[in-house]
Structure formats: C-alpha cells, structure tokens
Structure 1
Amino acid sequence: MLNNETNISYHVDLPYPDIKVEKENSRYANILLHNYSGIVSEFTAVDQYVYHKFKLFKDCPAVSQAIGEIAMVEMHHLEMLGELILLLGEDPRYWIKKKDKRYYWNAKFVDYGNTLKEYLDYDIQAEVVAIRDYNKALNEISDPNIVKIIERIILDEELHLKIFKELYAKYVKTPE
C-alpha cells in the first residue's frame, strides 16, 4: 500500500507467503486465535486504528490518513489469520478458547483515548505487544508455512511501530 501523496508504504515491500498449512491442527489454530481476535489482536487493531482515524480526521488529517492506511494492512493480516485458522480446522469467529471455554471479542479491548498523544501511545503499545505475541506464537508453532506467514506479518508490525513513533515525534508536543 503506497500512499501517493507522501510516497510512504505502510507494509514491507515483500510478498506475503501463500496461505497453506501442513495439516489440520487445532492447537495451532487456538494459538492464532489470540493474534486474530484476542485482547491485543488484528481485530482489535483494526477497530482501534479506524476509531483513531475518525477522531483525528478534522484536526490532524495527515495522522488520520496514516492510521487508516495501517488499519488496512492490519485488515489484511486479519484475513490471512482467518484463512489459516480455517485451514487448521477451527472456526475463525472473533473469540479465543481457554480451557474448553470460549471468550468472544469485546469492544472494551479497544484503547480509545481522547487526545492525539493518547491515540499514538496506545497504537505504539499495541504494536509492541503484537510483535511480542507473534514471537511467542513462533516459539509454539513448527509448521513452516505458518512460521513464514507470521514472520512476514511481524515485518509489517515492526514497520507500523516505526511509523507510529515517527508520527509521535512529529506531531505530539512535548514539554521542553
């Protein structure tokens, strides 16, 4: 995704691996459900970033646009994870499973915020946690197809973290 006005890419310029798995594996699917629709997840990121985009639309259109572009990349990640979860034999509902119980995604997972500083603080933190959680998933999953996809998603998340930090440095006024 290249923004024509600023020539900034919001995803790493590398292809995404094919969406495939070695075989059905509900344990792997349940690990991915956390990245897909857990508290800090692709689903939460899309909702949080779109909300922040709307809130900044009038007062800070450049940041609003950047956050919106990042949200679209996160939506692509959500789609890839949903397809993986299906291939692994599970239902990609917006839930996680713990000890045979299902917990549905909740809008309370979104860090809404009230100011540009809070929005960017929350978005930076979301990317830090997403990267950590994807690395944790890498340690638990040995299917090379899934590993390649997660590694590729992490590259985008690292780019998003860099962009959010740059936006923070440029637009958030810090006391001198």
Structure 2
Amino acid sequence: MFVVGIDPGLSRCGYGAVHSGPGGLQARAIGVIRTSPQDPLPERLAELQGELRALFAELRPDVVAVERIFFQNNVRTAMSVGQASGLAMAEAVAAGCQVAQYSPNEVKLAVTGDGAADKQQVQVMVQRLLGLATAPKPADAADAAALALCHLAHAPVQARLAAAGAKR
C-alpha cells in the first residue's frame, strides 16, 4: 500500500509519502509545501491546490491520510487549516485516491504509543520507523509522515472490519 500523509496548513502544508510492501516501510518523499503569507488568500489557496494536484499526480498514492482538525484556539489558524484540509481531500479524490482522516491523538498513539506525545517524540519515531538518517524537519513534514504511518497501522484492521460488515 502506498500512502501520502498530509498535515494541512496554508503557510506550511506537510506531506509524507510512505510505501509498505514486502521489504517493509519505505519513505518515498517527505517535505513541506509553502505559500507566502504576503500573498492574497485566493492566490495562496490556488498555489496550494496546484502543488497538491502535482504531488498526487507524480506520486499516485493509493490513499491520502489527512489530519482531522480537532481543536484550535486561534480561529484564523483553524480557518486556514480547514481550507488546506479541504483542498487536500478534494484533490486526493480528484486524483482517484481514497481519503482517510485521523486526529492528532490517533496519529501520536499509532506512531509513538502515547496519544499525548510531543512533536520531538513524533519526529524521532518517524525517523526510527522509516530508517531515516535524521529526523524529518520541519515538524509539519514529520507529522505528515506520521499520518501515513498511522494509516498503514490502521488499514489492516479497517479492512477486516469492512469484510466482517459485508458478511452480515
């Protein structure tokens, strides 16, 4: 299975592409898409949309795992994260990908074993699980790779549940 994780944001949108196969887990691409806060909102959204479209077209993942907006103290931040999240999900579906959403706590629990883990713990575990020489930076990139890892951990269980439901 090939999964691209997306840590949505308008200024920094993290992505992490992870393949799971007979050879184990393999990082294919980890990085951040950036837009300039000085540019008008519509232009930034269009730029992010184009970058996501190109990313999905190049990588051709089976699934795109997007962080679910759980809670934000700052309304402006919540709005921009929501807009970026919506673009990521829409572009994933347009590219023919399945979409999954996970909360930050679900991702931390799947990757570190602790739903309250901090950013550094997530970065270190992503590094270890993917056999990387260094921890992915910035944290947005590591969080995106963690989303992909989270889906890879949950997918077998979800498939068994779906199969059990279909048998009823």
Query: Given the two structures, how large is their TM-score scaled by the length of structure 2?
Result: 0.27
Structure with greater proportional helix content:
1
Structure with greater proportional strand content:
2
Query: Given the two structures, how large is their TM-score scaled by the length of structure 1?
Result: 0.26
